[in-house]
Amino acid sequence: MTAMSRFALKIEYDGGPFHGWQRQPDLTSVQGSIEQALAKIDPTSPLLAAAGRTDTGVHANGQVAHVDLARDWDAHSLMGALNYHLKPNPIAIVEAAEVSEDFHARFSATERHYVFRLISRRAPTVHDIGKAWQVRHELNVELMRKGASYLIGQHDFTTFRAIGCQAKSPIKNLDMLDITEHTYPGGVEYRFHVRARSFLHNQVRSFVGTLERVGAGSWTPEKVNDALALRNRAACGTVSPPHGLYLDHVVYPEDPFF
């Protein structure tokens, strides 16, 4: 039996053209596109395992996946070969590294970091169409930060969980939800930096959509806490669109790319 070599891949992609990360019959996905490229360089048609599945329209700056290959590639050559075969898809392998057989992109991860981009400006966006959520009204960042403070820590997040979520428990520990302001031509960009070991389906988008209502003045910050305590999906505010969300970084006990 031929020994396999395991490689970790750090992946960047524009989620707009894809039906999410996960391979699906007859639909274009990020995973399926990379696996097609892998099949061109490895006769075993290897399959990927990823740190997390992103939904349709969600982007990634630092998705991580691992794959077992029959050939013992040089990591730099592997990255170049995959990027060649991925053209013209908006996907890039930005780092590759050989790892031990006990490394698992999903189960070895200790934290996942997401960033959500929300732009407040009256004029239409041009360069960020499909890359950020735009609203045309002003937002109060201090009110949004106060509302976000109620979500930090361990809670039952049923209110901020998609109805079809397959997680075994709605109880999660949210380590960080910070909101930063950035000057944007004609307005302001707000970036929501969210960190936890794992997330429920649509949890981040539910947070952002609810906090946007706080920033717009439709909700008080305290109403976020009330909604959390109700443990009822109907109490959630607006669910933000997927195109503002980025899987930004995945943390492991030992960085496979260091």
Active site residues: 55
- 231: number of Cβ within 10 Å: 15
Q: Which of 233, 230, 166, 177 is nearest to 201 (CA)?
A: 166
Q: Which of 109, 149, 160, 141 is nearest to 212 (CA)?
A: 141
For residue 236, what are its two tokens? 């959630």
Measured torsion, CA atoms of residues 49, 55, 60, 64, in degrees rounded to the nearest 10: -10
Phi first, then psi: give them for residue 75, nearest 5 degrees: -60, -40
CA atoms within 13 A on the CB side of 120: 15
- Which amino acid appears at position 8 of this protein? A
d(Cα 254, Cα 248) in Å, to the nearest integer? 18
Measured torsion, CA atoms of residues 19, 148, 252, 24, in degrees rounded to the nearest 10: -10
